Chains A and B, each alone.
Chain A
Amino acid sequence: MNSTIIINVIRFAVLIIVQALILRALNFGEYSYYFKLFIYPLALLMLPLKMPTWITLLIAFFTGLTIDMFYNSAGMHAGACVAMMFFRPVFMNILEPRGGYENNPLPNKDRLGNSWFVQYIAYCLIVFMLVFFLYETFLFENFGKGIIKALLSYAASLPVILLLIFIFNPKR
């Protein structure tokens, strides 16, 4: 159990640093207006499945605030992360395997299967993207552009996150 905590802390640190210092500085020229690459939600999604929701919400809020500090976007990432973690149990119920999650307290690709894992990430991430760009456009731009940006960012981020999982294949 202890090693699970340590691994999660390291994963949070690495993903936040990569997101804040490398991906933020990436510049896709004129396209960078339309899609942004977010990989740090992966750290939240790899939290133990049986963790109480209120703890995951608090973790999500402060993770989002940390990213907000670097992006100078007070509250947007925090709101999007909290929404994603709130809807996580809903998707877990939808995708619940026959034996429930009793034998699999951790989101493990090998035990729960590739199909379960890809759907889990895909559903949660779309919530994140929609809420994030809803907030961004709700405050600054119009709504249609927000949807387009959300879908393009989703299409860019999801493959990267899945690629990370299939490369590193985290067990805990």
Chain B
Amino acid sequence: MNNLINFFYRFHSFFLFTFLEVAAVYMMVNYNEFHNRVYVNSANVVSGYFTERYSGFSDYLKLRTINDSLANAYNEYLNRNPNAYYDHKVDSKIVEDTLYQKRYNYISAKVIGNSIDRPNNILTLNRGSQHGIEKDAGILCNGSIAGIVLKTSKNYSVAMSLLHRDIRVNAKFKNKGYFGSLVWKGTDPRVMTLENIPRHARVALGDTIVTNNYSDIFPANIMIGTVVEQDINSGDSYYNIDVQLNTNFNNIEYVNVVEYLMRDERLELETSVGREGVVD
């Protein structure tokens, strides 16, 4: 007996070593069962706190990437929207297997240059001709119109924002159908003026102004803004209508450029008729 005790005493560290190693292996093997029980629950009190703090911090650093991917996802959604397709059903009943042909293509872009305080304000976008952007393409921001592309280089494009004196947008009342052209007078970056609305039209404050079906730049029925002021002088045949813009040019970040895939065909047809044949 004495010998046995001596033996254990002499090799006590070896036995402790073996015992601890077995305990460690046991933990590794049973890790999954331990996971939800005592071990990690007590661990969560200490390390969970720090891990959560750290991941909260690193999540914040990833926001830029997340923002980019959301902008792309929205653009993808616009591309799948039925509104982006041209409906062939009416024109050609013969061709039954290609009922839908794509009419508008949307390209996501980021605004990298902007101004609102000049007479002619320009947007610079980080997408250019190699991404499919062409001259005269329309620009949407969060579902409202924002500008028209003036010129493209390989990687960038420059567009006049709505706050530009040369801009003319075909616009109409959403419900009433009267149409006119929208211009900017160069003073208030939130307000544009709708011209050529005839005297017999009934205009109310708060009426919604949307893009026209006749436009070869924007798709139809895209939101522009609401009427905030209207008056007509006696003797004039047209209203003066102020439209509050839906797009806030102060903080415009991500935009979608509209590529009208059938514009060439349409312009070719229209010019072949000749100027006198077209009603301006």
Contact = CB atoms under 8 A, between A and B. Distances in A.
A83 B25 CA distance: 12
A78 B39 CA distance: 13
Contacts of B40: 69, 72, 74
Nearest to A140: B28
Interface string A56-77: 0110010010001110111110
Most buried by B among A53, A79, A135: A79
A83 B35 CA distance: 24
Nearest to A139: B28
Contact of A57 (B17, B35, B50): B17
A73 B39 CA distance: 11
A61 B249 CA distance: 63
- Interface of chain A: mostly helix, strand, loop or mixed: helix
B54 interface: yes
Given A69-B46, A69-B47, A75 B16 contact: no
B24 A76 contact: yes
A75 B23 contact: yes
A6 interface: no
B54 A25 contact: yes
Given A74-B31, A74-B34, A86-B13, A79 B43 contact: no
A86 B16 CA distance: 9
Interface in B11-33: 12-14, 16-17, 20-21, 23-29, 31
Nearest to B42: A69
Contacts of A78: 20, 23-24, 27
Contacts of A52: 13
Contacts of A155: none
Given A69-B43, A70-B47, A75 B31 contact: yes
A56 B264 CA distance: 83
A123 interface: no
Contact of B21 (A54, A72, A83, A139): A83
A82 interface: yes
Contact of A20 (B17, B23, B24, B47): B47
Contacts of B27: 68, 74-75, 78
A21 interface: yes
> Chain A contact residues (Cβ within 8 angstroms of B): what range?
20 to 34
Task: Please tell me the size bucket of the interface on B.
Answer: 20 to 34
B16 A54 contact: yes
B158 to A, nearest CB: 38
Nearest to B44: A69
Contacts of B21: 79, 82-83
B13 to A, nearest CB: 4
A82 B13 CA distance: 11
Contacts of A83: 17, 21
B24 A57 contact: no
A79 B21 CA distance: 5
B13 A57 contact: yes
Interface string A110-128: 0000000000000000000
Contact of A135 (B13, B28, B34): B28
Given A25-B54, A70-B47, A75-B23, A82 B28 contact: no
A82 B20 contact: yes
A138 to B, nearest CB: 9
Greatest chain A CB density within 10 A among B16, B24, B27, B51 is at: B24
Interface string B213-225: 0000000000000
Q: Top 9 nearest A-B pairs by Cβ distance?
A: A79-B24, A75-B27, A69-B43, A53-B13, A75-B24, A75-B28, A74-B27, A86-B17, A82-B20
Interface of A: 20-21, 25, 52-54, 57-58, 61, 64, 68-70, 72-76, 78-79, 82-83, 86, 135, 139
Given A25-B54, A53-B16, A82-B21, 15 more contacts: A21-B50, A53-B13, A54-B13, A61-B24, A73-B28, A74-B27, A74-B35, A75-B26, A75-B27, A76-B24, A78-B20, A79-B24, A82-B17, A135-B24, A139-B28
